[in-house]
Amino acid sequence: MKVYENFDLTQYNSYRLKARCATAVFPETEADLLHLYGDLSAAKKIVLGNGNNILLTKEWYDTCFVIFNGSFDTIAVNDNEISAQAGATMLQLSETAWRHKLSGLEIFYDIPSSVAGAVVMNAGAAGEEIKNVVKTVRYLDVADMRIKEIGGDKMEFSYRNSYFQKHDDKVVLQAWFSLTKGNPLRIKEKMETAKQIRWARQPRGFPSGGSVFKRPSGRFVGPMIDQLGLKGFTVGGAKISEKHSGFIVNTGGATGKDILTIIRETQRQVKEEFGIDLEVEQRII
């Protein structure tokens, strides 16, 4: 387990916002986590995976960040089942599945998320969601310091939501995915198609945190924002992307407060014009 004091979080959030925390811990084993939470159970800890889909609103956090980026990332294959620790990326997971001729994870290729992050938020694209392939999740229940498992059918999955978003004292450690045998050429073709579609639609030139808002029933967020004339709306170094209005980008020197100001103003105008309460998809810290 690696521990750092006064740690720079800039490279650990995809917006590339400047922020620091009092302590950062990179666990390597389940024993590390049990030790960490057992010794410091009273101190608040913030868990980060790949750093995408989060918004750091402060420049200083007087707390401990538990970071699963670059560690705790073992992947194993057993017949049609694949398991991955929390810190593995969806890129690593989908490529491993492809190499073993396993289908079911193609759409998640190149999604900038850790396995834990994808499970917690029920990541999805093109009508597919991670819930369709999750079999079991292993987690640490901080409330009683026990490691437990939960079946995918008990995880209360819904659009960009799951059991773990409702219980922040549960830390995802590992997930098992039930896949099917497939043709590796077709699997790879679907992976590349998903990647190209994503690259064509989403902003690539500036750092962003991914899609900002959840899609409301029967509507698409981007067209509503376009209709309001908010495409390109800027606060400080943050701007609503001119390529896709559902994204906010850091054009240079943006702060979390800049991005949050854009979010709140967008919500206000959408509510006023369309009567819709936009729900933020990103995790605001």
In angstroms, rounded to a whole number, what is the distance separating the alpha carbons of residues 241 and 221? Answer: 13
At 107, is the secondary structure helix, strand, or coil? helix
Q: How would you classify the pairing of strands 238-240 and 234-235?
A: antiparallel
Sequence-ordered list of residues with C-beta below 8 angstroms from that of 230, at least 6 positions apart, any chain: 240, 245, 265, 266, 269
Q: Which of 14, 20, 129, 281 is catalytic?
A: 281
Q: What backbone torsions phi and psi does residue 5 show, to the nearest 5 degrees?
A: -105, 150
In angstroms, rounded to a whole number, what is the distance separating the alpha carbons of residues 137 and 119? Answer: 9
Q: Is 28 an active-site residue?
A: no
89-to-8, 93, 116, 284 alpha-carbon distances in Å: 21, 6, 9, 21
Q: Which of 94, 211, 241, 245 is catalytic?
A: 211
In angstroms, rounded to a whole number, what is the distance separating the alpha carbons of residues 194 and 109? Answer: 7
Q: Is 268 an active-site residue?
A: no
In angstroms, rounded to a whole number, what is the distance separating the alpha carbons of residues 276 and 107? Answer: 29
Q: Which of 160, 162, 245, 283 is catalytic?
A: 160
Burial 237-259 (b: 16+ CB within 10 A, else e): bbbbbebbbbbbbbbeebbbbbb
Q: Is 160 an active-site residue?
A: yes
- Specify whether the CB–CB gap between 6 and 59 falls below 8 A: no
Positions annotated as catalytic residues are 160, 211, 281
